[in-house]
Amino acid sequence: MLEKDDFFPIGIGTYKLNLEDKENTLKGLLYSVEKGQNFMSTALVYDNGRVVDFLKEFFRKVDREKIFLMAHLERYIEKLEDVEKQVNEYLTKMDIDYIDAVQVHASYVSKIPLAETYNQINELIKKGKVRYISISNSSLEELKEINEKFGVYSFEGVYNLECKLNENIGIINYCKENNIKFICYQALRRNRIANNNYPLLTELSEKYGKTQNQILLNWLIKEKGVLALIKSTNKDNIDSNLESLNFEISIEDMNKLNEFKHKGFDTVKIDWKETGKGVLIDQLANQF
Residue 2 has pLDDT above 90, yes or no: no
Report the 10 Å Cβ neighbour count for 233.
20
| pLDDT tens digits along 225-249 | 999 999 999 999 999 999 999 999 9
Residue 5 has pLDDT above 80, yes or no: no
| pLDDT tens digits along 8-50 | 999 999 999 999 999 999 999 999 999 999 999 999 999 999 9
pLDDT tier at 250, thresholds 50, 70, 90: very high
Distance (Å, whole) CA 83 – CA 90: 11
pLDDT tier at 53, thresholds 50, 70, 90: very high
Span 202-217, average pLDDT: 98
What pLDDT is attached to residue 11? 98
Residue 3 has pLDDT above 80, yes or no: no
- 133 bridge partner residues: 102
154 backbone dihedrals φ, ψ, rounded to 5° = -150, 160
Residue 167 has pLDDT above 70, yes or no: yes
The rounded mean pLDDT for the chain is 97
What pLDDT is attached to residue 181? 97
Contacts of residue 207, Cβ cutoff 8 Å, sequence gap at least 6: 253
| pLDDT tens digits along 83-115 | 999 999 999 999 999 999 999 999 999 999 999
Span 162-169, average pLDDT: 98
Q: Cβ distance 172 to 182 under 8 Å?
A: yes
| Residue 250 to residues 88, 167, 199, 257, 280, Cα–Cα distance (Å) | 48, 21, 17, 11, 36
Rg (CA), the chain: 18
CATH code, 116:
3.20.20.100
Structural domain that includes position 267:
4-286
Contacts of residue 93, Cβ cutoff 8 Å, sequence gap at least 6: 49, 52, 53, 55, 56
Residue 195 has pLDDT above 80, yes or no: yes
Residue 77 has pLDDT above 70, yes or no: yes
Span 159-171, average pLDDT: 98
How many domains would you assign to the chain? Answer: 1
Q: Cβ distance 217 to 242 under 8 Å?
A: no
What pLDDT is attached to residue 4? 63
282 backbone dihedrals φ, ψ, rounded to 5° = -80, -5
| pLDDT tens digits along 126-152 | 999 999 999 999 999 999 999 999 999
What pLDDT is attached to residue 1? 84
User: How many residues in the chain?
Assistant: 288
